[in-house]
Amino acid sequence: MCGIVAGVAQRPVWPILVEGLRRLEYRGYDSAGLAVLSPDTRITTARAVGKVAALSEQIGAHGLPGTVGIAHTRWATHGVPAERNAHPHTADERVAVVHNGIIENHAVLRARLQASGRVFTSDTDTEVVAHLLAEALAAGQTPQAAFFAVLDQLEGAFALAVLLRDTPDQLFVARRGSPLVIGVGLGEHFAASDALALLPVTQQFIYLAEGDRGVLTQARVALFDANGQSVERPVVASAQRADSADRGGYKHFMLKEIFEQPVAIADTLEGRVAAGRVLPQSFGVGAEAVFAAVQRVQIVACGTSYHAGMVARYWFEDILGVPTAVEVSSEFHYRNPVLEAGTLLVMLSQSGETADTLAALRMVRRRAPKIPVLAICNAPESSLVRESDLVLMTHAGPEISVASTKAFSTQLVSLALLLLSIGRVRGLLAEADEQRIVAGLEKIPQLAQQALTHDRAIIALAEQLVDKHHALFLGRGVMYPIALEGALKLKEISYIHAEAYPAGELKHGPLALIDDTMPVVAIAPQNDLLDKLKSNLAEVAARGAELFVFADERAGLQDEARLRVLPVTSHVGRISAPIIFNIPLQLLAYHVAVLKGTDVDQPRNLAKSVTVE
């Protein structure tokens, strides 16, 4: 969601801040700003609505002098997108604050501050932090004591970076519920909401624990826990590269990431299968003991990750006979779920910082601390990874586009590895069946590469969808979640209203929507539900809809009037079919969005990492 970059350096800091913001653009935002302590200890700020490029133009080529600064990209939660609501927020010309998250008690704090005569210039919850700090400093508290006292007054989730005119060589930071990482440089230190922002200046990072606060200078990092006690946190070398945020010749990050899927899938499999067998130890120390006790699986996730969990439910129950439930994190967190012994809780997240998923995990920790938690995640240093018992990294690499593509594919591969591991440890899967599934998994990178060869044909389909206002996606069985994912991709980047249904539900309501203005996208693998799907498609065609069918080459479907069939793969099984059929749906959404001229990588109102509820 929002992005923070901050630094206390030996050189002008503003270019580092602006480049860091540029690298965080994928998170989604509506405004940007920065504040720098000038050599004469004045706080100078620049803020702009729109892209980081607009902020850069406002700053100008000469920049803002100073070696200590904070910067921010904002995604509106309190107050409309406007320059007055953009961060940083200041008070008394001695405090500047940037903030991710939500201060839940901001209204009470604002009322008290206004009653004491303080004047607010924004509609944000963040500005209360600036005024609280200014008030504490005016009362004579030392800067560090003032900062800690203010943190103790705040309720909600936040990551903060603060400049104080009183201490021009220091930067104050804190996190509670929102991610923040410290970058360790040579005689300088930085902070950011994502390590990716700091890769041009360092690959050495300190990941703050929940509740940590700290003081950064050029020479050192002083960290304290939620109780104000001094603590040490390890310095970790990041495996990410500074060029991870480059498009690499592709027009958009989304297209690049779609085409990276064969390699990402291969990387996810590497080292986790050998001689036709899966290695349960890939999930961590003690994984085999945990899997031996699994009686049921509870998957918790949001958005695209939730659709991956839905696919896995079909696999786990169909192949292993293990009862499996899938739930949206925000619903699971608040509905008082029954957590039985023998349950494995599987948390899916691309970023590992999704607020609802982390809240669900922490709720389980409080209520059922003996329930083992497995994180399937793409961010090795994330909160979700650090707080889980077992972990499987998806190895998708950085995913910059807001619309998730390769993270979804690698999550599905990871869930298939989990299925094999539980099946093997519990004796639910014959050795021959395990070897057959592993052999199928090893073919997926090549199948994915072949699916990408249909790109030009999919552009032709996109041209027929670009002027539509609605679309219906249909799938049966394990393809229903893929239909949901296809509809989600189309709506989030092209802004075409799209819904997905199990094809068997047509007569229970959706058929009323069908006419010659409603295109229908269907997924037709070669499986035991194909004949039923063909019957559903006939019902749709009889009502004048234009049909676009992504089919198995053996499905026996051919082009007809108002029916376009695109054979995209062949000889895929229950595990590989959802992964492969999803790729052309990603390409369809991408090309429709390009033809419509939308902001493909940063669609309106959306953010890559949803770090607040």
The domain ranges of the chain are: 3-245, 253-449, 455-596
**Torsion, CA 381, CA 448, CA 565, CA 437, rounded to 10:** -90
- Give the residue-averaged pLDDT of 562-589: 88
Can you tell me the distance from the alpha carbon of 19 to that of 42, in angstroms, rounded to the nearest whole number? 23
Q: Which of 31, 120, 17, 26 lies closest to 76 in space, CA to CA? A: 31
Query: What six digits make up the tokens of 514?
Result: 């069908």
- Give the residue-averaged pLDDT of 41-68: 91
What does CATH list as the number for 3-245? 3.60.20.10
- Give the residue-averaged pLDDT of 333-346: 90
- Give the residue-averaged pLDDT of 34-56: 92
pLDDT of the residue at 559: 67
pLDDT of the residue at 368: 92
pLDDT of the residue at 308: 97
Can you tell me the distance from the alpha carbon of 527 to that of 444, in angstroms, rounded to the nearest whole number? 18
* Percent of the chain whose pLDDT exceeds 90: 64
Non-local (6+) Cβ contacts of 226 within 8 A are 176, 210, 211, 212, 213
Question: pLDDT tens for residues 265-317?
Answer: 998 998 788 778 888 888 988 899 999 999 999 999 999 999 999 999 999 99
| Per-residue pLDDT at 25 exceeds 80 | no
Q: Determine the residue type at 223.
A: L
| Per-residue pLDDT at 339 exceeds 60 | yes
Per-residue confidence band for 530, with pLDDT thresholds at 50, 70 and 90: low
Fold match, 3-245 / 253-449: no
pLDDT of the residue at 354: 84
Per-residue confidence band for 544, with pLDDT thresholds at 50, 70 and 90: low
| Alpha helices, H only, 382-405 | 383-387
Per-residue confidence band for 260, with pLDDT thresholds at 50, 70 and 90: very high
| Per-residue pLDDT at 14 exceeds 60 | yes
Can you tell me the distance from the alpha carbon of 54 to that of 41, in angstroms, rounded to the nearest whole number? 26
pLDDT of the residue at 532: 74
| Per-residue pLDDT at 24 exceeds 60 | yes
pLDDT of the residue at 1: 56
| Per-residue pLDDT at 3 exceeds 90 | no
Question: pLDDT tens for residues 201-236?
Answer: 999 999 998 899 999 999 999 999 999 999 999 999
Prior bond of 168 cis (ω within 30°): no
- Give the residue-averaged pLDDT of 492-504: 90
Tell whether the torsion through CA atoms of 363, 367, 369 and 375 is positive or negative.
negative
pTM over 0.85: no
Question: pLDDT tens for residues 93-106?
Answer: 999 999 988 788 99
Rounded to the nearest integer, the mean pLDDT of the chain is: 89
**In degrees rounded to 5, what are phi and psi of residue 549?**
-120, 120
Architecture of the domain delimited by 253-449: 3-Layer(aba) Sandwich (3.40)
| Per-residue pLDDT at 75 exceeds 80 | no
pLDDT of the residue at 101: 81
Per-residue confidence band for 529, with pLDDT thresholds at 50, 70 and 90: low
Task: List active site positions.
Answer: 2, 608
Q: Does domain 455-596 have CATH number 3.40.50.10490?
A: yes
The distance in angstroms from the start CA to the end CA of the chain is 11
